[in-house]
Structure 1
Amino acid sequence: MMLGILGGMGPLAGAQFLARLTLLTPAERDQDHLPCVLWSDPRVPDRTAARLGTGPDPLPALLRGLRALEAAGATAIAIPCNTAHGWFDDMRAACPLPILHIVDAAAADLARQGVAPGPIGLLATEGTLAMRLYQQRLEAAGWDVLVPDAATMADVVSPAIAAIKAGAVGPAGLPLRAAAAGLVARGARAVVLGCTEIPLGLPEGPLRDSLGVPVVDTIDALALAAIGWARG
């Protein structure tokens, strides 16, 4: 078996996924790790812009990456980009390999952390929120998804995500922490970091300690799902 990683969205998130996959895998030697191949293509058109109608369709580039991973010997696919999952059904229809769904991985991590049905907070891109990727799947499982208001998205979350993509990881942490705290103040019993750039500026451990509620890092959640797949 070999895991194919459809990355580059952004490049740092894909690299972080590979690092976390390695660190989270129970292993005592090289040979205990999961064989994988990373396709990191930052040329994929912006997913949020496409979903909001202001940019080109990323699907052809996504399918090109899937074909490359299949040709390289991948037997399953992980995509460490939440917004790209807006094209999940199209990718699954075009690719014979199983594709792990990052929202299902987040749901499994919520359950693993003992988060009961009820209100949870979500930080994500405007595209992910507009597609209701998390709302549909998590609400079906009993969680009520709270999201930042339009002003917080425009003034805080979206600029912070853009800053991380531009390499300004450190300065993004404080505004993202404030946005997460706002969700907890509204009653969220947990916070899902539903953009794989966000954990880069807002690590899950310190955030959990400061908020006092469980936090789901979707990079880690997807890595755990991939490890689960590899185990059978």
Structure 2
Amino acid sequence: MLGVLGGMGPMATVDFMGKVIRNTPAACDQDHIEMVVCSATSVPDRTAAILDRGCDPLPAMLDALKRLERSGATCIAIPCNTAHHWHGELQARTAVPILHIVDALADALTERGQQGTTIGVLATDGTVRAGIYQRRLAKRGFSCAMPDASGQAEVMRAIRLVKAGDVDAATTILNREAQALVAGGCSQVAMACTEIPLALAAVTGELKPRLLDPTDTLARACVRSCLAVPQRRVA
């Protein structure tokens, strides 16, 4: 059973669950994988914590992790890129495997034959500062490029707009920043904040095939992991 440590933010959690369902080869209800979700909206802001401007979110995430364990989760996903800064500490506190969103992305890039290329990263300040994508992708042979300082400020503004429900305004900003990364030589652009795919879902044209959604690649990895274990069947 897939455990989803969510709520960071709530809309992104629902989006992730939809991607798990859409990526599951199912002909009936019983073919879908079981999920238990903890929408832990009380987890403090992850970027603020990384930038030393807020409370440590680890205790609240550990509490959510324990609830998922008690509910019978056999693998866990965290549909929040910035929260992966604490992936190692969370994994050290449970025997249940926690799939890593960057590993799922790297697998997808390898499948696309993108080894050795530069990947653009649209992410929160916290994700960028923590090096979550830079370090993990470097180990797999990829380079990363991020927007410049003014562009990064715009990305953060767009993320806040999505959280506030103004998706249209965020779309304009993120489209522009993604185009700039492609123009700068990036082969693909990772939408490395779970709010960003919500804003760029309707993008068309030449940019669309350049966009890669880590939320979706994580969902695919979760489906593969869960389907490798026999599912309980109900009448």
Task: Report the TM-score range of the alignment, normalised by the length of the smaller protein.
Answer: over 0.9
2:214 counterpart of 1:221: no
Q: Matched residue pairs, number?
A: 228
What TM-score comes out, normalization by structure 1 length?
0.95
In the superposition, relative to structure 1, how do residues 31 and 214 fare at CA in structure 2: closer, same or farther (>3 Å)?
Answer: same
- State the alpha-carbon separation in 2 of the partners of residues 16 and 212 from structure 1: 18
Residue 165 of structure 2 aligns to which amino acid in structure 1? G
Counterpart in 2 of 1:179?
177
Contact 2:190 2:212 in 1 (8 A): yes
Residue 227 of structure 2 aligns to which amino acid in structure 1? R
Contact 2:3 2:36 in 1 (8 A): yes
Query: What do the CA deviations read for 1:197-218 (whole angstroms, capped 9, x no partner)?
Result: 1001112x735x3326532111
Instruction: Provide the alpha-carbon RMSD of the alignment.
Output: 1.2
Residue 123 of structure 1 aligns to which amino acid in structure 2? L
Counterpart in 2 of 1:31?
30
What TM-score comes out, normalization by structure 2 length?
0.94
- State the alpha-carbon separation in 1 of the partners of residues 18 and 189 from structure 2: 23
Contact 2:120 2:182 in 1 (8 A): yes
Runs of 4+ in 1 over 6 A off after TM superposition: none
Counterpart in 1 of 2:233?
none
Query: What do the CA deviations read for 1:15-39 (whole angstroms, capped 9, x no partner)?
Result: 1101111111111000110001111
- Runs of at least 5 residues in structure 2 that lack an aligned partner in the other structure: 229-235
Percent identity between the two aligned chains:
47
- State the alpha-carbon separation in 2 of the partners of residues 220 and 184 from structure 1: 21
Contact 1:189 1:213 in 2 (8 A): no
State the 1:113 CA deviation.
2.5
- State the alpha-carbon separation in 1 of the partners of residues 17 and 101 from structure 2: 15
Contact 2:75 2:226 in 1 (8 A): no
Contact 1:123 1:147 in 2 (8 A): yes
Q: How does 1:131-210 map to 2 (within 5 A)?
A: 131-154=130-153, 156-203=154-201, 206=203, 209-210=205-206
Contact 2:33 2:227 in 1 (8 A): no
Counterpart in 2 of 1:90?
89
Residue 215 of structure 1 aligns to which amino acid in structure 2? L
State the 1:74 CA deviation.
0.7
Query: What do the CA deviations read for 1:158-188 (whole angstroms, capped 9, x no partner)?
Result: 0000111111122210110100011011100
- State the alpha-carbon separation in 2 of the partners of residues 194 and 212 from structure 1: 15
State the 1:117 CA deviation.
1.4
Bigger drift between 215-224 and 47-56 goes to 215-224
- Runs of at least 5 residues in structure 1 that lack an aligned partner in the other structure: none
State the 1:48 CA deviation.
0.2
In the superposition, relative to structure 1, how do residues 62 and 148 fare at CA in structure 2: closer, same or farther (>3 Å)?
Answer: same
Residue 140 of structure 1 aligns to which amino acid in structure 2? K
Q: Secondary structure at the match of 2:36?
A: strand
- State the alpha-carbon separation in 1 of the partners of residues 2 and 68 from structure 2: 9
